[in-house]
C-alpha cells in the first residue's frame, strides 16, 4: 500500500505498519492485505451496497452520464491543491466502487508528471464488494473497508482534502482528520434530482432542506466557502433507466409490478441536479 502512514488501527488507533502481507499496529492487531491490494479495517462486519447495486452504478457511470459532476469536482479539488507546496493527501469517505476518486486520481497524476504538487489518494467504504471493485480498477489508489459512522481509521490531521460524495457524513471525525485550513467537498443530490423519474415510479424523495441541514451539520468546525450546482439533462433508454434506479436503494423498495414497468420503459427525459458544497476547516477547531 502506498499511504499506510495515513492509517490508524480501528481498535486502538495505533499507527499501522506493513509486515509481509498484513498491516500490524504496536498492540499486535493484524489485518490482512487482500490479493487486490485493499485492507479490511472494519471492527465488525456490516452491510453496505450490494454487488447488484455496484455493478449497475459502474455501468451507468461509465456511460458518462455524471461525468460533468466529476469534472466539476476535479476542478474544485485541483484549484485548491495547486496552492499547496507540500505533498497533499486526499480521502474519499464513502468512495463506493471508486468512480469519482479514480477520475480525480488520473487528473492528479497528470499534475504530478508536470512537476506540480504530489498527492496521495485513499478511498474508504463500508462495502467490501465496492472496495474490491475499486481496488481492481484503480491500483494506484489505496482502498480500505471501514465504517464512516465510527471513528475513522485515519490519523488526526493527516489529510488536506476530504471528499464525501452521496455518502454518510461524520462531521466531528472529518474535522479531526483534516489539517486546520484543510478542505472538505460534500456532494449531495438537489431536490430536483431525477424528479421526473422519481415521480413516474414514485421513488424515494430527496429531503427539501437537505443542503441547509448539511451546512448546519458542519458549522461548528467548518466554514462554507463555495457552492456549485451542476445540472445535466438526461435522455435515458432501456437498461440505462434500470441502472440509474438499481444503483440506489430505490430499486429495493419497489414492488415487483413497478420493477417490471421500469424494465419495460423504452426511454425517459429527466435531469440530474447536484450541489457541491466546499467547506474549509476552521483554523481554531
pLDDT at 161: 97
pLDDT at 114: 56
Contact 142, 121 (CB under 8 A): yes
Dist. CA 72–CA 80, nearest whole Å: 13
Q: Determine, yes or no, domain membership for 122.
A: yes
Task: Concatenate the DSSP letters of all residues of 14-38 into one string.
Answer: PBPEEETTEEE-TT--EEEBPTTS-
Q: Determine, yes or no, domain membership for 66.
A: yes
Helix/strand/coil for 162 = strand
pLDDT at 101: 97
Q: Determine, yes or no, domain membership for 29.
A: no
> Which residues, in sequence order, are bridge partners of residue 142?
122
Q: Determine, yes or no, domain membership for 90.
A: yes
pLDDT at 163: 98
Q: Determine, yes or no, domain membership for 28.
A: no
pLDDT at 85: 75
Q: Determine, yes or no, domain membership for 177.
A: yes
Q: Determine, yes or no, domain membership for 37.
A: no
Cell of 58: 459502474
Mean pLDDT by groups of 10 residues along the chain of 285 residues: 92 94 96 96 86 95 97 96 86 97 93 65 96 95 96 96 97 97 97 92 84 96 97 96 90 84 93 97 82
pLDDT at 49: 87
In the chain, how many domains are there? 1
pLDDT at 83: 81
Contact 158, 182 (CB under 8 A): no
pLDDT at 285: 52
Polymer length in residues for the chain = 285
Amino acid at each position: 500500500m502506498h499511504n499506510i502512514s495515513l492509517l490508524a488501527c480501528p481498535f486502538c488507533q495505533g499507527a499501522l505498519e506493513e509486515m509481509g502481507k498484513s498491516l500490524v499496529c504496536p498492540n499486535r492487531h493484524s489485518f490482512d492485505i487482500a490479493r487486490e491490494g485493499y485492507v479490511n479495517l472494519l471492527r465488525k462486519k456490516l452491510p453496505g451496497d450490494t454487488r447488484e447495486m455496484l455493478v449497475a452504478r459502474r455501468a451507468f457511470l461509465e456511460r458518462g452520464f455524471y461525468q460533468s459532476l466529476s469534472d466539476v469536482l476535479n476542478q474544485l479539488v485541483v484549484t485548491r491543491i495547486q496552492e499547496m507546496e507540500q505533498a497533499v493527501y486526499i480521502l474519499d469517505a464513502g468512495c463506493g466502487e471508486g468512480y469519482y476518486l479514480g477520475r480525480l486520481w488520473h487528473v492528479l497524476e497528470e499534475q504530478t508528471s508536470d512537476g506540480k504538487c504530489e498527492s496521495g489518494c485513499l478511498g474508504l467504504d463500508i462495502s467490501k464488494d465496492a472496495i474490491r471493485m475499486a481496488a481492481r480498477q484503480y491500483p494506484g489508489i489505496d482502498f480500505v473497508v471501514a465504517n464512516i459512522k465510527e471513528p475513522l481509521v485515519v490519523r488526526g490531521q493527516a489529510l488536506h482534502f476530504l471528499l464525501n460524495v452521496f455518502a454518510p457524513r461524520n462531521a466531528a471525525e472529518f474535522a479531526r482528520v483534516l489539517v486546520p485550513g484543510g478542505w472538505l467537498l460534500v456532494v449531495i443530490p438537489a431536490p430536483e434530482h431525477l424528479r421526473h423519474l422519481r415521480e413516474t415510479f414514485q421513488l424515494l424523495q430527496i429531503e427539501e432542506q437537505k443542503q441547509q441541514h448539511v451546512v448546519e451539520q458542519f458549522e461548528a468546525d467548518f466554514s462554507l466557502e463555495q457552492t456549485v450546482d451542476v445540472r445535466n439533462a438526461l435522455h435515458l433508454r432501456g437498461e440505462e433507466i434500470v441502472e440509474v434506479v438499481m444503483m440506489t436503494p430505490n430499486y429495493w423498495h419497489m414492488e415487483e409490478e413497478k420493477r417490471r414497468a421500469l424494465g419495460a420503459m423504452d426511454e425517459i427525459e429527466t435531469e440530474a441536479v447536484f450541489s457541491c458544497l466546499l467547506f474549509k476547516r476552521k483554523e481554531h477547531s
